[in-house]
Amino acid sequence: MMNTPQQVKNPSSSLKSRFITRFLGALTKITAEDPISSSSPTRIFQRYRRIKVASNKSMAYSVRSRRIWSRAMLSRFRSRRSAFSGRRSSVKTTNCTTSPPPALIKVTINEKKTAKGGLDMQTDELRELVPGGEAMDVCNLLDETAHYIKCLTTQVQVMRKIVDFYHLSK
Amino acid sequence: MSSSLTSLYLVNPNPKAKRKKETRPFIFNLLHHQSKKITLIMQPCSREMQAMNSLLNPTQQIPLQDLQINGNSHHHQQIHVPSSSQFQYPTPTSTTHHDDSFLEQILSSTTSFPWSDETGPPNPEDNNNAGFNYDEMVLASKLRQHQINGGAAGNPFSAMKMMLMMQQQQQQQQMMLAGRPTVASSAAGGGITTNHQGGEGSMQALYNVFGDGSLHGTMQAKSFVGANSATEMTQSQGSRPTAGEAVTAPEKPKQRVRARRGQATDPHSIAERLRRVRIAERMKALQELVPNANKTDKASMLDEIIDYVKFLQLQVKVLSMSRLGGAAAVAPLVSEGGGDCIQTSANGGSHPRNSNGDQTPSANDRLTMTEHQVAKLMEEDMGSAMQYLQGKGLCLMPISLATAISTATSRSRNPMINHENPTNGSHLLIQSSGGDGPSSPSMSVLTVQSATMGNGGLEGGAASVSKP
């Protein structure tokens, strides 16, 4: 665990290194709490979700609040956590993590498809993909998308390296 | 290793990472360097835009250092309405060499003074400098817009017009602030320097000046300019008639004929133009990030981007699945190099396989069944096909990627595999070869083979983790 291959550009402050440290911490916590050998399928599934959430969360935390999407993601996590605990929390929808009901989306998409070119439909789709995308105009949306893609690729790279490493060590 | 795959999606360093604090020195470079002034503006145009927008907003007084995208995004419309009256876009930029020489002369003669004064005082107050830099921003933005909007061969005439605009603004500023009808370029420098201390009031005044009316403003300026013929106009404007005809065909589809001199351009079209330009920039940046980005069409580019984001998100999902270590069944499976590599480890519904041998044939059958099922579903609706696959813990993947992964993982798998053939059901590859899906040709992600590879690997690793 200590010899995880870390390829960081700057030793201390790059996004990659921050993400790596956070994510590995979360991963160790999860594997400690949830021993693998004794997992039932449902536990496996839960564990998968936890890891996925941990990965996304680590990335969002590494980005802090510098980006709209990371802020949206973090507020989503917080609201979800409070919802789990049973309280009716007032979900902050300033960053609009909840999209309008699907029926409404479909209607607007069809309308726009017939009205204008297909660009509106695609921008809407992009809005759904990028967290916090509903509240952004197209220009910012593209910007956020670029940063989001960058972070996602970092995430995937790191996770892949971890997988490879563990595979090798076996 | 699979790192060869990751090299596909390496992230390019973002050239526009930092937006703050670079506008002002940039503008100075622009105006100090005598050569290729216009081309210098091309690059950080977005920053200028933001700077301009932030400055044009009188109520907000955003300091230059605080150019955040978010803050400025909704200021655009209101910003441009009053000030756009001043903007005129006579002609395209001058990119030919003799144009540069004209530009150089004019710029050197007219602008060396004010800008050089600016470098001296160390920015006592953001507002002061904001007021001053407003000019710069406007000029720079104009230059840039000329360059962007214009496409035809630049002519000195256009360059002259641009210079004219700059001088007009300078003079107007001086008129408002200094209260004296400064005419000569040297006076311009003095006038501006003395008004450094104007602060917010000057900013407001400037704003009003530019907002009040382009017509009479420019008319006055023109008269001033006429008087200025001593230094600048002789070279540039003297002989040329001020027949600011719209010259080039509009580049952007929604653009109307360029405004003639002395005529206000529609603020909406300007805002629209600005918006388009920014969007084009962002698209270009995205194109660098997304692989396979040779599409010229905006719509297809957006499609690619959307698919890529989906792909990445799915990859994260699968990779987190692969770290589960699965059931204990996975390890013996993999260690024996079992033919069945499709393990629905994530889904609680599927049953883990505990023994290999008798299950292998049925696994293969199950695989082909799954394949058929998915193929059938794909004909109807991609969404449901994907959902079906996800429910089984499987994914789609283009062939090239799949072969790459399989070679990578089979190579790394060799120490563990004894003998098994990779040909049978061990790859579940259902490729949707181009153009099937409603929106996108390439569906993607990892086969579960690699996921189960990770499973086996991680189990060993995880064991080492849990035992200190």
Residues of chain B positioned with their CB less than 8 A from the CB of A44: 324, 326-327, 345-346, 348
Task: Find the residue in A nearest to B314 (Cα).
Answer: A156
Contact flag B456-A39 (C-beta cutoff 8 Å): no
pLDDT attached to residue B255: 59
**CB within 8 Å of chain B, chain A residues 19-58:** 27-28, 31-32, 35-37, 39-42, 44-45, 47-48, 51-52, 54-56
Distance from CA of B43 to the nearest CA of A (A): 16
Contact flag B312-A153 (C-beta cutoff 8 Å): yes
| B234 CB neighbour count, 10 Å cutoff | 11
Residues of chain B positioned with their CB less than 8 A from the CB of A168: 412, 457
pLDDT attached to residue A130: 83
Contact flag B460-A31 (C-beta cutoff 8 Å): no
pLDDT attached to residue B240: 46
Q: What is the dihedral of CA B304, B309, B315, B321, to 10 degrees?
A: -140
CA atoms of B86 and B264, how far apart (whole Å): 7
Contact flag A167-B458 (C-beta cutoff 8 Å): yes
Residues of chain B positioned with their CB less than 8 A from the CB of A34: none
Task: Find the residue in B nearest to A154 (Cα).
Answer: B11
Task: Find the residue in B nearest to A35 (Cα).
Answer: B466
Residues of chain A positioned with their CB less than 8 A from the CB of B278: 139
- Please tell me the total number of residues recorded for chain A in this structure: 170
CA-CA-CA-CA torsion sign (B36, B38, B43, B47): positive
Residues of chain A positioned with their CB less than 8 A from the CB of B306: 122, 125-126, 129
Q: How far, CA to CA in Å, does B231 sit from each of B117, B157, B175, B184, B413?
A: 20, 17, 20, 8, 78
CB pairs under 8 A between A and B: 196
**Residue B7 CA neighbour count, 13 Å, CB half:** 6
Contact flag A41-B69 (C-beta cutoff 8 Å): no
SS3 B334: helix
What average pLDDT does the structure give for chain B? 53
Contact flag B465-A28 (C-beta cutoff 8 Å): yes
Task: Find the residue in B nearest to A24 (Cα).
Answer: B465
What are the extents of the domains in chain B? 267-321
CA atoms of A158 and A16, how far apart (whole Å): 8
pLDDT attached to residue B267: 85
Tokens of A25: 């911490």
Contact flag B324-A117 (C-beta cutoff 8 Å): no
> Which amino acid is it at B436?
D
Task: Find the residue in B nearest to A126 (Cα).
Answer: B306
Question: Which are the contacts of B274, defined by CB distance < 8 A and separation ≥ 6?
Answer: B49, B76, B80
Contact flag A126-B352 (C-beta cutoff 8 Å): no
Q: Block means of pLDDT (10 residues each) for chain B, length 468 residues?
A: 44 47 48 47 48 48 45 44 46 48 56 47 46 51 53 48 54 51 43 44 47 46 45 44 44 56 69 88 85 78 87 86 51 37 39 42 60 66 64 69 73 49 41 42 44 43 39
| Of B201 and A14, the one with more pLDDT | A14
Range A8-46 burial, b when 16+ CB lie within 10 A, else e: eeeeeeebbbbbbebbbebbeebbeebebeebebebbbe
Contact flag A164-B299 (C-beta cutoff 8 Å): no
* CA B249 distance to own-chain centroid: 26
CA atoms of B365 and B120, how far apart (whole Å): 81
DSSP classification of residue B328: T
Q: Following DSSP, what letter does each residue of B189-253 receive, concatenated?
A: HHHHHHGGGGHHHHHHHHHHHHHH-HHHHHHHHHHHHHHGGGTTTTTTTSSS-------SPPSST
- On whether the CB atoms of residues B348 and A44 are closer than 8 A, the answer is yes
**CB within 8 Å of chain B, chain A residues 77-116:** none
- On whether the CB atoms of residues B394 and B371 are closer than 8 A, the answer is no
Smallest Cα–Cα separation from B132: which of B66, B177, B78?
Answer: B177
Residues of chain A positioned with their CB less than 8 A from the CB of B279: 138-139, 142
Assign A132 a pLDDT band (cuts: 50, 70, 90): confident
Residues of chain A positioned with their CB less than 8 A from the CB of B320: 48, 51-52, 54-55, 159
pLDDT digits (tens, 9 = 90+) for B167-212: 555 555 555 544 444 444 444 444 444 444 444 444 454 444 444 5
DSSP classification of residue A112: H
Q: What is the value of ipTM here, to two decimals?
A: 0.75
Tokens of A101: 């009901």
Residues of chain B positioned with their CB less than 8 A from the CB of A47: 324
pLDDT attached to residue B182: 44
Smallest Cα–Cα separation from B45: which of B173, B145, B189, B178?
Answer: B145
pLDDT attached to residue B195: 44
Residues of chain A positioned with their CB less than 8 A from the CB of B350: 41
Q: Judge: domain B267-321, CATH 4.10.280.
A: yes
